[in-house]
Each structure stands twice: as C-alpha cells, then as structure tokens.
Amino acid sequence: MSATRIIVTDTQPAIDPLRGVIIPSFNSGPLLAETVREVLALWRPVIVVIDGSTDGSGRGIAEASQGVAGFHVLTSTENEGKGAAIASGLRFAAGHGITHAAVFDADGQHHAPDLPKFMEASRHNPSAMILGLPVFGPDAPRIRILGHRLANFFCALETCGGGIGDSLFGFRIYPVQPALEVFRKTRGARGFDVETGLAVRLCWGGTPAVNLETPVRYRSRAAGGISHYRYVRDNILMVRTHAALLARAAIRYPWLMPRRMTSYSPRAARDC
C-alpha cells in the first residue's frame, strides 16, 4: 500500500476543532497505516506520534500527512515510551486549541467505528474522562483478561471505588488540560503504566469517569498482530506503579471516602 492511499476514504469524516485523536506508535508496521486510514475516515484532527520507530512505518505516515488538513505527525528520534508519546500529543493538541483528546492504539486492537460515540459522550460530559470498557472476544488471551481484572481490583482500592471501569484499556478520551497537569506533577506514567497512572490521578483530582463498552480484538502474529508489552519488565513496572499509587491513596482516604459516600448511587457506579 502506498503512503498516499492511506488517506483515501469514501466517507466524510467528522471535524471538530476542539476534539482530536492521538495515535501513539512504535514499530507498528502495516497496522499503523490501516489504523490511521480507519480513523481519518471517521474523525479529524488526528495526531500521530511516532515514538522512535525503526521499522519505516513512520516515514510513510509522515509523507501521507503532507497537505492534509487536520492530519499531523510528530516524530521522536528515540523510543521514550507510550506515556511520553501521549504526553507529547497532548501538548501539541493544547497548542492547537484542542480541549479533549481521544487516545487510540496503533496496533489494530481498538474499534474505530466507536470513535463518534466516544466523542459524543465527551461533548455531553466535558469535565469527564471517557474510558473504554473492553468487551473481550474469544481471541482474547486468558492471561490478558485476568490481568485486567487484577489491575482493576487494585485501581478500585486506589480510588476508593472511584468508578474507573477498566484501568488498562487504552481507548479513552482525556480532558487535555487536566491530563497535562497530571504529567507535569509526576515523573511516572511515561510507559505502559500511562493508562493506570493517568486515570487514577485524574480521579484523585476530581475528574469523573464515564465508561463505555467497546469491542477489543487480538490478532495473532500470523495475522500481523504485534505487541511491545514485555511480561517480566512491564509487569514489574505495573507492580511498582500500583504500590506507589496505593501508598499515596492511603494518604488521600480521609478526603476520598466522604466524596465517594456523598456522590455514590447505583446508577453512578455503572455510568461513572
């Protein structure tokens, strides 16, 4: 597939200067072009952040973006981590007047047709983070499902039941300025700990969560699937992340508990 064909679509994308899509990418191969094409057909502006890729996937995207309104490509020469790439995209978004940014993975896991639904939820809940609640199919590895459940258990402890439906799933919308404020105040959340670190700290700061179900797909390597998650290295990172968040949460419990008790309702627990 040529670079220019990436942007050819048969549909008219929604254009909202206040809400954009950030796609962080590191060595995503052909899946990056496929993902970008799907997103561009539905929404603009789109910000692709090439995080030190060495597989050539970033070059074609950068060439394809030339002269295309609402399509931006940021390139880092070094691999700084997923969280750092998202922070870079958020800073660019803020500088261009974007107030809310969806984060969409480049590996083909996320369901692009749900982007308008997420954006609409963000319009109706501008102070909230819109969190994808993954609907796992038969292709989902059992260890991934168990990992999400365990992480969500600790996240509920860290937020005193703050309503974060899934702390690991990357398809979500952040209010840009509150998210940037989190990055300014912490040295963490720069790698695969970004989803947990951002959501928990935003919750501590009073940002409510709206959870929306969305399907997730896991491609086999034979079908072109990729993953840069390293189970030993990144699970150690997540253990350290939760240990640090739990320690900080213990200090916040006197303030979190009354807030949860006054704001709790069965419906809020489902929607928040």
Residue 265 three-state SS:
coil
Tokens, residue 48 = 């692709």
The first and second tokens of residue 195, run together, are 């989803």
Residue 122 φ/ψ, nearest 5 degrees: -65, -40
What pLDDT does 148 receive? 93
Whether 213 contacts 130, CB under 8 Å = no
State the pLDDT confidence band at 57, using cuts at 50, 70 and 90. Answer: confident
Which residues are paired to 135 by β-bridges? 215
Residue with the two structure tokens 């057909």? 41
CB-CB contact of 14 with 119 (8 Å): yes
266 has a pLDDT exceeding 80: no
Per-residue pLDDT band for 11 (boundaries 50, 70, 90) equals low
137 within 8 A of 215, measured Cβ to Cβ: yes
Do residues 101 and 177 lie in contact, with contact meaning Cβ atoms separated by under 8 Å? no
Please, are residues 17 and 98 in contact by the beta-carbon 8 Å criterion? yes
Residue 1 has pLDDT above 70, yes or no: no
At 60, the pLDDT band (50, 70, 90 cuts) reads: confident
Average pLDDT of every residue of the chain: 86
The predicted model gives 145-171 an average pLDDT of 93
Lowest mean pLDDT among 52-56, 63-67, 177-181: 63-67
At 241, the amino acid letter reads T
Strand, helix or coil for residue 210:
strand
DSSP 160: T
Is residue 255 a contact partner of residue 204, using CB atoms and an 8 Å limit?
no
pTM: 0.87
More confident residue, 240 or 268: 240
Return the number of other C-beta atoms located less than 10 Å from residue 261's C-beta. Answer: 10
Beta sheet of 172-175, edge-to-edge order: 71-76, 46-51, 19-25, 100-103, 172-175, 129-136, 209-216
> pLDDT for 168-218, tens place per residue?
999 999 999 999 999 999 887 777 789 999 999 999 999 999 999 999 998
Report the C-alpha gap between 139 and 144 in whole angstroms. Answer: 11
Provide the pLDDT for residue 222. Answer: 65
DSSP letter for each residue of 181-202 = HHHHH-S--SSTTHHHHHHHHH
Q: What is the pLDDT of residues 101-118, one digit of tens each?
A: 999 999 889 999 999 999
**Sign (positive/negative) of CA torsion 158, 159, 164, 170?**
negative
